[in-house]
Amino acid sequence: MKARVFVTLKPGVLDPQGKAIHHALEGLGFDGVNEVRAGKLIELDLADGTGDDAIESMCRKLLANTVIENFRIERLP
Amino acid sequence: MKARVFVTLKPGVLDPQGKAIHHALEGLGFDGVNEVRAGKLIELDLADGTGDDAIESMCRKLLANTVIENFRIERLP
């Protein structure tokens, strides 16, 4: 079973990596970019039958820093 | 207009970050994790009317290293 975890910074948290990407895009001539936010994507290959609770626990304990980050779990068939 | 870009390592490319996450999950007692792959998620806030071509061009020129990475673009309404 596969699952994807998307980790993004909470709104209001400064994102220097996103700012750097934004700046670089402008330098390459891409106009019309208002904002860039950088996050993480973690693809998990799990044993069948792994519950949502287990995946959420992985996120809370390791994959995301819930003080400054949100996470979203997507299970793939 | 918002768009998300998912950047993942191509199959076969070594992923030490994913391996480290996998090892840490096992250390925390999470069994049944077969593989972990780490990728990037980039959220773009773009001017309305920005075409798919422009977003793909951003990916090829800056956001992804197409020698070792794949990218997928998702436009949000």
Give chain A's domains with CATH numbers.
Answer: 2-76 (3.30.1280.10)
Classify burial at B5, counting beta carbons within 10 Å of its beta carbon; exposed 0-12, middle 13-18, buried 19 or more.
Answer: buried
What distance, in Å, lies between the first and last C-alpha atoms of chain A? 7
- Would you say residue A77 has pLDDT above 90? no
B5, B44 Cβ separation under 8 angstroms: yes
Are the beta carbons of A46 and B34 separated by less than 8 Å? yes
A39, A8 Cβ separation under 8 angstroms: yes
B57, A32 Cβ separation under 8 angstroms: no
- Would you say residue B53 has pLDDT above 90? yes
Classify burial at A5, counting beta carbons within 10 Å of its beta carbon; exposed 0-12, middle 13-18, buried 19 or more.
Answer: buried
Are the beta carbons of B8 and A43 separated by less than 8 Å? yes
Q: And the tokens for A43? A: 């693809």
Mean pLDDT of B19-29: 97
Chain B residues touching residue A62 (CB < 8 angstroms): 21, 24-25, 28
This complex has an ipTM of: 0.91
Residue of A nearest to B51 (CA): A32
Query: Residues A58-76: pLDDT tens digits?
Result: 999 999 999 999 999 999 9
Mean pLDDT of A5-18: 97
Minimal CA separation from B77 to chain A, in Å: 16
Alpha carbon A52 to chain centroid distance?
A: 18
Q: What is the pTM of this model?
A: 0.93
